[in-house]
Each structure stands twice: as structure tokens, then as C-alpha cells.
Amino acid sequence: MDSVFAPNLLAGKAALVTGGGSGIGAGIAKLFAHHGAKVALLGRTVQKLDAVAAEIKAAGGIASVHPTDVRDYPALEKSMNDAAAAFGRLDIVVNSAAGNFLSPAASLSANGFRAVIDIDLCGTFNACRAAFTHLAKQGGVIVSITATQADVPTPLQVHAGAAKAGIAKLTRDLALEWGRSGIRVVAVAPGPVEGTEGMSRLAPGNSADALKKRVPLGRYATIEEIAASVLFLVSPAAAYVTGSTLLVDGGTSLIGAGPFLDMMGL
Ligand code: COA
């Protein structure tokens, strides 16, 4: 994999990526492994995790697989402990597990709203909490993947917007509390990203072309571009960065919720 960074930026480090079986999480895990990190892949579907682990190993990297739902705290804590024990340390945790769908707020069930809050916001807290003792041993970094919906009022996205805004606030609060423990806590907010389940759910069919035309940079991000921004944040180049959410959206948030308004006929 080509990279703008020097090789083996993460040699000697160990990372755990939730949602590591697909999409942005898988891309981050592969880029970390390419840079010499040992990578623990955590997610609900073992077949997806196995496929990413096989790809990393085929390229000469080291990966372990931890089938776990981030909503299940005891299981998550066990997986975190297993990964740290197997690698002898844990330096980096990436929260990429997420759930989303389009739904008008007026017809969204309470359970539907809660399902997304549980996966995105509670799942992120669970992973941070379970990682703390491991990261505090030698210092470390937590990166959570949020979304532009956290800041941009967006129809059909009340559940995801609330969850991602919560993650951005959690990021700032944990950065404040855990800085003295040597732990940086940061986030990345992508706009539309090519080849992810999220985008096929949020911009199905023709709406993808309409959205691409309106993105200031004129295209979706690649998964590799999002992974590169996460690599920057976990690298020594970002050693003084904590509490921030880095927008990596090609300018999408500058145009507001336009494409979603189109979907609602507004
Ligand atoms: N529109 C409205 N409500 C929906 C919905 C949709 N498209 N999809 C699910 N829900 C509701 C369900 O109806 C249910 O509520 P109810 O019990 O009142 O009927 C609630 O959400 C939970 O659904 P369920 O399928 O039981 O939850 P789950 O825990 O199995 O799955 C989801 C969680 C809903 C987020 C599911 O879409 C998921 O697992 N997504 C992961 C992958 C993903 O979203 N990737 C993109 C990330 S950006």
C-alpha cells in the first residue's frame, strides 16, 4: 500500500480497531499493519474479521481477531485484555464500529434511536473505558470516527447526529481527564467515503452522483485517505494534538445538509 508517510511509523506498537472487519476500520487496520503495528481486529462478524486478518498476514503483518459486540461491556473488556496480553502492550485504540440508516425522526422508533446510540456512543465509551489501564501503562492514543452529522443539522439522521456529537464531546472530556495519564484522545469526522456500507445506506443509487457533484472537492474520499488522517493523529507528528476532531470531508460540511434536504424534497 502506498503511503505519504515514512515506512514503519508504528513499529513496536500494538493497536485495536473496533469495526475492523470492514470499511474505514478495515482500511485503518491495514494501514497500521503496513506501518509495523500489531493489530487486533474487533467486530461482530468473525468471517469479515478473518478476511481482513488474512490480508494483513499475507502482506507480512501481524493481526488477531476478536469477535465482539461493542455494546457488550464484559465481552469487550475481555477482548481488550486478550489483545493487550497477546501483544504484550496496547498503544492505540480506534473506535470505528458504527450503525446507521436513513429514517425520518417522526417515524423512528425509540428502539431504533437507542440502537444507534448504543453502538456508536456507548460502544465508544466502552472501548475507551476498557482500554484505559492498558494505554496508561506507557501512554497511548484513542481515535474515534465521528461524522459531519455531529455538527451539521441533518434530516433523516437525528440518531446518528446525536450519537456522533456525543462522541465529539466524549473525546474532549476524556482528553481533559486522561492527558496526565499520557493518553491523547482525538477524533476524525469524515464526509462521504467511497466503498463503505455507510455510504451505500446513506446515499443509495442516483443520490450518490448528486452528492458527489455538490462536494467542494468534487468526489468522495477514499478509505485510504481517511486511514491516512488517522495515521497522522496516532503518529509522533500529532504528539501535541488532543481533544480535537479533525474534519476530513472534502469540504462537505461547508455546503450544509444539501443532499439530505434533496432526499426530503426540501
Ligand atoms: N429505519 C428505521 N428504523 C430502523 C431501521 C431503518 N432503516 N433499521 C433498523 N431500525 C430499527 C428497528 O426497527 C429496531 O427498532 P424496533 O425494535 O422498534 O423495530 C431497531 O432499529 C433495532 O434494529 P435491529 O435490527 O434489531 O438492531 P441491531 O442491533 O441488529 O442492528 C442497526 C443495529 C439497526 C444499526 C443495523 O443497521 C446495524 O447493525 N448496522 C451496522 C452496520 C452499519 O450500519 N454500517 C454503517 C455504519 S455508518
Domains and CATH numbers, the chain: 14-264 (3.40.50.720)
Scan for cell 455510504, then name that residue.
Answer: 199
Say how far apart CA 151 and CA 105 lie, in whole Å: 17
Q: Is the pLDDT of residue 263 over 80?
A: no
Q: Average of pLDDT values for 209-217?
A: 86
- The pLDDT value recorded for residue 14 is 98
In whole angstroms, how large is the CA radius of gyration of the chain? 18
How far, in Å, is the centroid of ligand 1 from the Cα of 126?
20
pTM to 2 decimal places: 0.96
How far, in Å, is the centroid of ligand 1 from the Cα of 244?
29
When the pLDDT of each residue in the chain is averaged and rounded to a whole number, the result is 95
pLDDT tens sequence across 145-168: 999 999 999 999 999 999 999 999
How far, in Å, is the centroid of ligand 1 from the Cα of 82?
29
Q: Is the pLDDT of residue 2 over 60?
A: no
Decide whether any atom of ligand 1 lies within 6 Å of the 99 Cβ.
yes
Decide whether any atom of ligand 1 lies within 6 Å of the 140 Cβ.
no
Range scoring the smallest mean pLDDT among 71-75, 166-170, 190-194, 203-207: 203-207
What one-character DSSP code corresponds to residue 156? T
- Give the Cβ contact number of residue 120 at 10 Å: 27
Q: Is the pLDDT of residue 33 over 90?
A: yes
In this structure, are residues 5 and 35 in contact, taking their beta carbons and an 8 Å threshold?
A: yes
Beta bridge partners of 40: 16, 64
What one-character DSSP code corresponds to residue 61? -
Closest-CA residue to 236 (of 139, 170, 168, 171): 139
Say how far apart CA 180 and CA 113 lie, in whole Å: 35
Say how far apart CA 175 and CA 123 lie, in whole Å: 17
Residue nearest to atom 42 of ligand 1 (CA): 99
In this structure, are residues 21 and 9 in contact, taking their beta carbons and an 8 Å threshold?
A: no
Residue nearest to atom 38 of ligand 1 (CA): 99
pLDDT tens sequence across 96-125: 999 999 999 999 999 999 999 999 999 999
Say how far apart CA 74 and CA 196 lie, in whole Å: 29
Q: Please, which pLDDT band fits residue 76 given cuts at 50, 70 and 90?
A: very high
Give the position, in ligand 1's atom list, of the atom nearest the Cα of 116. Answer: 35
- The pLDDT value recorded for residue 185 is 99
Decide whether any atom of ligand 1 lies within 6 Å of the 103 Cβ.
yes
Closest-CA residue to 135 (of 13, 262, 10, 265): 13
User: Three-class SS of residue 257?
Assistant: coil
Neighbouring C-alpha atoms within 13 Å toward the C-beta of 137: 13
Mutual angle of helices 23-34 and 46-58, in 10-degree steps: 30
Say how far apart CA 144 and CA 164 lie, in whole Å: 9
How far, in Å, is the centroid of ligand 1 from the Cα of 176?
33
